[in-house]
Chains A and B, each alone.
Chain A
Amino acid sequence: MSMATIRSPQALQYLSVVGMSRDSQVVTEQWLKSEEHYWLPITRRPQGDAGKFQALAETWRREVQFLSSVTEMVLHPAYQRIIGMGTAVVPHLLRELECRPDHWFWALTAITGADPIKLEDRGKLRKMTEAWLRWGKEQGLTW
């Protein structure tokens, strides 16, 4: 029979004892993050929303690359499954939009009920992207 004993490292106990400032907490939090990676490497973690979203987005991009109809693009099963993930996926959509602008606007409206794009900007990918990123910041979202 084997036994695993998990305890916090000595140095962490030392850190928690002495620092009083916010920055001392930052150091401790970053330490904990590093330690968390040691105990639970990313390769052994269950796939979270971010991983699920990336896999679906990748499938969608690959399979709609030769489509010209936006309606067909948004009806793709992977796109629909992303919408089905609900509000948890909104920060991931905004991050994706920021890095690689694409037709994520329909999904964002379907999930949030918002439509921050001005009438005159419809069809302009850059302006539409800016409008949604601005909306995300106004909602206090981080991504």
Chain B
Amino acid sequence: MVETTRFPNAPITEALLDIRVTLPAQTDLVKLATFHDAIKQQYPSKQERLAWRGHLEIKASPVPEVSQSATGGPDGYLFTSVDGRQVVQARLDGFTFSRLKPYDKWESLRDEAQELWQHYVRIASPETVTRVALRYINRIEIPLPMRDFKDYILTTPEIAPDLPQGLDNFFMRLVIPDPKAQAVAIVTETMEPIDESSNRLPLIFDIDVFRMAAFNIQDNAMWEAFEYLHDLKNDIFFKSITLKAKELFQ
């Protein structure tokens, strides 16, 4: 396993733990809303979640026919903590716990998620877990002038050396299977415009790791899978950043 470090100024802007489930037919939004009763003190704010999906069809005929439709509506609730740093989602398709910056440590995230998950299980009575996922979004603010992205991060888009090396924008998505952990990692990198006040280039380094598998609700195997996913996430992060990047997080 890769050697990890806890940084005082960690670049994580969001860490989230996501569990997809199948619910019995009798679990509806009314029942999900009662999730709030158990967590109201720590998560006083409640919002309905809306999910919409659009569909557009164009039939090629002498006069093109266009038809569109949208399906969706409320699919769950968002509950936010007093300081706005933690958000839990109870949905008809699953459960998500997000921790926004500042990030503390994996154990705190996992323990809080575990406790909230128990409430979700009690109220929603999921039949089975179908997917577990962890997502860590990092924002690495690279000081300018910069010679090469590789001074900070080793997984980056590469331009042929004989071409101009300037880059206005990029979006890179890598899907990396890990057969050992029976997991898949989706690594996404992109950038935002240079922040002129600080003269830094914000690089977003998003690591999304998941395992598709059926877990029994009360089985500890799901939480063991999360430990594997967390190791995989750490592997990707720590093997991708350079010493120079680590100095930014001190």
Query: Which residues of A come within 8 Å of B, CB atoms?
Result: 1-8, 11, 13, 16-24, 26-27, 30-31, 33-34
Contacts and interface: CB of A to CB of B under 8 A. Distances in A.
Contacts of B169: 30, 33
Nearest to B190: A30
A7 B54 CA distance: 7
A17 B51 contact: yes
Contacts of B192: 26
B16 interface: yes
Nearest to B101: A21
Interface of B: 13-14, 16, 18, 51, 53-61, 78, 87, 89, 91, 96, 98, 100-101, 133, 135, 137, 139, 169, 171, 173, 186, 188, 190, 192, 204, 206
B53 A8 contact: yes
Contact of A18 (B56, B61, B100, B135): B135
17 contacts: A3-B59, A5-B57, A8-B54, A16-B51, A18-B16, A18-B18, A18-B89, A18-B133, A20-B14, A20-B87, A20-B100, A21-B14, A21-B100, A23-B13, A23-B139, A26-B190, A27-B206
Nearest to A5: B57
B137 A19 contact: yes
A16 B96 CA distance: 12
A4 B54 contact: no
Q: Which of A4, A6, A8, A19 has the most CB of B within 10 A?
A: A19
Contacts of B139: 23
Contacts of A11: 186
A22 B13 contact: yes
Contacts of A24: 14, 137, 206
A7 B55 contact: yes
B56 A5 contact: yes
A128 to B, nearest CB: 22
Most buried by B among A4, A5, A6, A26: A26
Nearest to B84: A20
Contacts of B206: 23-24, 27
A29 to B, nearest CB: 9
Given A17-B96, A18-B16, A21-B101, 6 more contacts: A4-B60, A6-B57, A7-B56, A19-B137, A23-B14, A26-B190
A78 B59 CA distance: 42
The 8 closest A-B pairs by CB, nearest first: A21-B14, A30-B190, A20-B98, A23-B13, A30-B171, A34-B171, A2-B60, A23-B137
Given A20-B87, A21-B101, A31-B171, A26 B204 contact: yes
A19 B204 contact: no
A27 to B, nearest CB: 5
Contacts of A20: 14, 16, 78, 87, 98, 100
B66 to A, nearest CB: 10
B96 A5 contact: no
Contact of B137 (A3, A6, A27, A31): A27
